[in-house]
Amino acid sequence: MSTAGTEDEYTWLEDVEGERALDWVRARNAERAATLAAGPEFASTRDAILEILDSDAKIPDVSKVGEHLYNFWRDADHERGLWRRTTLDSYRTQTPEWETVLDIDALNAAEGENWVWHGASVLRTGPHAYTRAIVDLSRGGADADVSREFDLVAKTFVDDGFFRPESKGGTSWIDEDTLFVFTDTGPGTMTPSGYPRIARRWRRGTPLDQAEVVYEGTEADMYIAAVHDSTPGFERDFVSRAIAFYSEELYLLSGTELTLVDVPRSASAGVHREWLTVELREDWEVAGRTYPGGSLLAIELDRFLAGERDFRELYTPTAATSLAAYTWTRHHLVLNVLDDVKSRLEILTPADGGFSRSVFAGAPSVGTVQVAPVDPRTSDELWLYATDFLSPTTLSLAALAEAPGPDGQVAVRIEPLKSMPTFFDAEHLVAEQHFATSADGTAVPYFLLRREDLPFDGSTPTLLYGYGGFEISLTPMYSGVLGSAWLERGGAYALANIRGGGEYGPAWHQAALKANRHKAYEDLAAVARDLAERGVTSAEHLGVQGGSNGGLLTGNMLTQYPELFGAVVIQVPLLDMKRYSHLLAGASWMAEYGDPDVPEEWEFIRRFSPYHLFDPEAEYPPVLLTTSTRDDRVHPGHARKMAAQMLAAGKDVTYYENIEGGHGGAATNAQQAHMQALAYRFLAERLGLD
């Protein structure tokens, strides 16, 4: 076992932009990754991926702002991207007429920067409604960004307008001359996780560090923010206090007075018009009733603040179902339920102090359906996305009737708008769902994509993907890149829904927290074994891939289950679990993994710290490690140090660090194509796909 935790000879690689560390990075990039990228098959794979990423036929995702639909778009001619707009009538056509609002490539050329788009928020009330925005831009794709006021009529940044210097944080419009702002304003204003500790009310013309403080968190909090709700007739201000992951408080702010929305800290509270919703992560006993974790409750906010607790129970989980999401329109609440990891929609309508229920008629019956409101303040329309592994994603506009009809059902009109092109030949592919049995007997679902004529002799190169953390669910999605770079060439693909994720609600996630983290790894190992037992593949032909928390997952596959895999891909990972809480945003994840500075907790954390589990004398499958210098969420030192100690022991390691990209690993389509081609070619060569 490595002694890296006590005498870490590679700590110097944590100096993100130190010359010695960057020299090491450049040298590693010039080794096996460069050799891999020099081959003709790599160029072919990269170019095919880039063609998909740059395709003009992709669905332009839009958001409605006033009379316009806004979209951010990147293609071959616009590497950093365009913020652009059109009308709904034009969007309905095959070739919408787009008006450029902001060209990020031109901005970078003019300012000598490497800005990456981080989004925009538009002022929706007052004389300048829909004509002013706050645009967020990041250098190189880092989480830290700047906020700049933008004129949507003149299509220029506002001289002497609001400007938030580079920091993690954000803003929220209150009115045309006032923002909420939560950002770095000097020593003591950021949390140990590197996020804002203070929320301010910032009036135009006031120096940022002198803006009125509306809430100040403790030094141990994770993230403080303030937001304004501009819903007509229900204008309100809120402060959110994230104490830790899965522990938060919501306050109603009136002037300088704060009123706690007194629900469990583990719950998530939301407000829409007169309604307060409470999504539970744990059982809650209140007013003589016990509501199970995973439930969704609702009550009128005014009645709740007056002390009443007679909640309406809108959703209750079962052994096979969980609430994936819920979405308000003007008059309705739409539930998105996962039933054995497949989507189902339901419409709830407030009526007579309760809620009536209606089926979402016409919703596509595919693996994954997602909805987003067009404008929940004024409209009952929804953007409806439908996808599965083998069917290109479609976008429709769903219009819900204002009220249920005589039959008690809400009429739904679905208008197809756009469809993703077919990027690979799926004619002879099938998608299946199977269940593997984990070490403790738990049934773990996974999806398998394979050719109809798969021989079931263990010879098929197969890629297994997992995440298993932070209550994030992995559901069927169409991926042109996966299809063209892997499936179309004869590979199989498995997507594992292991514990730690949210596929079966909070309990599925909580089953693999902290001291129980090993269950997530046992689950993925069980899926790997099940694939071999079914004859789909065998260890020499099975690869595993994951990023971020999924990089920790695959790091544990490498160090704990090396005999199950022929290749391992570890992307933007956590790996040194002794140091993780002291690196960048790591302190914010202690609710997930534990505190390594507490001896009792380090005792279980060290059992899933790949950096410390590595044994120089052990045999390991080939590994590809990738990260980004500009990742200011998961420190690139994790990947650097793991690669360094493995290389020193003579192991088969391919390392590549992209200078830009942030936690996503890439800042442009070209960078993304390069990173993805590295992974697919590495896997193809090591697993025998060619």
Catalytic residue annotation: 548, 663
Long-range contacts of residues 588-595, Cβ cutoff 8 Å, at least 24 apart: 588/191, 588/193, 588/195, 588/222, 588/223, 588/244, 588/245, 589/245, 590/244, 591/244, 591/245, 591/246, 591/247, 591/513, 592/245, 592/469, 592/470, 592/513, 592/514, 592/549, 593/514, 593/517, 594/514, 594/515
Q: What are the backbone dihedrals phi and psi of residue 478, each rounded to the nearest 5 degrees, phi first? A: -80, 130
User: What is the token pair recorded at 589?
Assistant: 């994840």
d(CA 397, CA 418): 10
First to last CA, the chain: 35
| Total residue length of the chain | 690
* DSSP H/E element including 465: strand 462-465
Question: Do residues 24 and 640 make contact, with C-beta atoms less than 8 angstroms apart?
Answer: yes
* Residue closest to 45 by CA, chosen among 478, 688, 690, 676: 676
Q: Which residue(s) pair with 371 in the sheet? A: 384
CB atoms inside a 10 Å sphere around CB 358: 21
Question: Do residues 542 and 462 make contact, with C-beta atoms less than 8 angstroms apart?
Answer: yes
Give 59's DSSP letter. -
Q: Which residue(s) pair with 354 in the sheet? A: 351
Question: Do residues 468 and 520 make contact, with C-beta atoms less than 8 angstroms apart?
Answer: yes
Using left for φ > 0, alpha for ψ between -120 and 50, and beta otherwise, residue 68 falls in beta
3-state helix, strand, coil in the chain (%, to 5): 25, 35, 40
Q: What are the backbone dihedrals phi and psi of residue 76, each rounded to the nearest 5 degrees, phi first? A: -60, -30
Question: Do residues 102 and 130 make contact, with C-beta atoms less than 8 angstroms apart?
Answer: no
Alpha-carbon distances, residue 91 vs 214, 375, 392, 529, 642 (angstroms): 41, 17, 19, 48, 48
